[in-house]
């Protein structure tokens, strides 16, 4: 059964990746907005923002990486919606394949596409002056956190992708997720914010994730932030996966 599921998922993943390869503008579009935002904040606002860091692009990059993921998952919801409305799911269900493999193929496609977008953003950041002396283990830790974060948001994107009534509704859910880093430590230290805003910023998931990635890049102690970040990512992943699978079962039953 497991071999059957893995084989079916691999075949359907190849199908989805071929679609991405035929329209690379999806990845380009996903990366363009975070890159434009990074350029604007570094070269327009960076000189007026005091973060206590010599390089604002180094301070900013972790938050931009999370915005990149939030932008990318909108396409996951869109592709799911298009397949649902186009009858692709019903067609696959009539074939002797593992039912959940269709969904997993979309999720893994999202992971691959988002990782490519993240690499593009990091390369641009390097051209803008981002530097890190972090070792291989620190980079692997950053990669692991970003993979967990991407999977969590991707499974969250599955829910509107399956249940939305319109294309706009399928992708619009990502807008609050893109906005969330602005109310965190991604752009400025939280201690510069007024009371209620500061409390929210310090107790929402993006801040702990950003702080952890930033500490890993700069070889600073991560403290408890890494455990809080992992707890948020894993907790959100479990909840999103559960609701997504429930929604999927309801749609195909």
Number of independent structural domains in the chain: 1
Q: Has residue 4 got a pLDDT over 90?
A: no
Name which of 101, 109, 112 is nearest 8 in CA terms.
101
Q: What is the mean pLDDT of the chain?
A: 83
pLDDT per position as a tens digit, 96-111: 566 667 778 888 888 8
pLDDT per position as a tens digit, 201-242: 999 999 999 999 999 998 888 889 999 999 999 999 999 999
CB 109 within 8 A of CB 20: yes
pLDDT per position as a tens digit, 71-100: 888 888 877 777 676 666 556 565 656 666
CB 185 within 8 A of CB 213: no
143 vs 177, more confident: 143
Decide: pTM greater than 0.95.
no
Mean of pLDDT values over 29-33: 78
Give CA separation, 76 vs 82, 118, 177, in Å: 10, 16, 14
CB 47 within 8 A of CB 13: no
Domain holding 203, by residue range, is 2-252
Percent of the chain beyond pLDDT 90?
Answer: 32
pLDDT per position as a tens digit, 180-211: 889 998 898 888 888 899 999 999 999 999 99
Q: Which residue has the tokens 């039953």?
A: 253
Report the C-alpha gap between 116 and 64 in whole angstroms: 14
DSSP H helices, 86-203, are 88-93, 99-127, 136-163, 167-172, 174-179, 195-202
Report the C-alpha gap between 103 and 114 in whole angstroms: 17
Helix axes 56-85, 136-163, angle to 10 degrees: 30
Joined together, the tokens standing for residue 199 give 């409390």
Q: Has residue 24 got a pLDDT over 80?
A: no
249 vs 212, more confident: 212
Give the pLDDT of residue 25: 63
Lowest mean pLDDT across 13-27, 29-43, 220-234: 13-27
Joined together, the tokens standing for residue 149 give 């974060």
Give the pLDDT of residue 69: 92
């Amino acid at each position: 059964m497991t071999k059957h599921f893995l084989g079916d998922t691999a075949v359907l993943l190849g199908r989805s990746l071929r679609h991405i390869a035929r329209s690379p503008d999806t990845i380009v579009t996903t990366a363009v907005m975070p890159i434009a935002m990074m350029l604007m904040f570094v070269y327009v606002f960076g000189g007026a923002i005091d973060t206590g860091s010599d390089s604002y692009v180094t301070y900013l990059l972790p938050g931009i990486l999370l915005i990149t993921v939030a932008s990318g998952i909108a396409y996951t919801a869109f592709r799911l919606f298009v397949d649902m409305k186009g009858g692709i799911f019903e067609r696959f269900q009539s074939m002797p394949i593992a039912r959940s493999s269709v969904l997993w193929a979309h999720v893994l496609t999202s992971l691959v596409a988002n990782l490519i977008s993240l690499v593009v953003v990091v390369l641009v950041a390097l051209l803008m002056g981002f530097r890190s002396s972090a070792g291989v283990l620190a980079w692997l830790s950053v990669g692991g956190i970003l993979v967990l974060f991407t999977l969590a948001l991707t499974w969250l994107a599955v829910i509107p992708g399956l249940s939305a009534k319109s294309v706009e509704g399928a992708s619009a859910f990502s807008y609050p997720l893109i906005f969330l880093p602005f109310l965190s430590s991604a752009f400025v230290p939280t201690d510069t914010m007024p009371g209620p805003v500061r409390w929210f910023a310090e107790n929402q998931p993006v801040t702990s994730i950003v702080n952890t990635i930033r500490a890993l890049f700069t070889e600073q102690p991560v403290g408890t932030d890494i455990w809080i970040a992992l707890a948020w990512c894993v907790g959100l992943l479990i909840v999103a996966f559960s609701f997504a699978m429930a929604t999927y079962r309801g749609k195909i039953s």
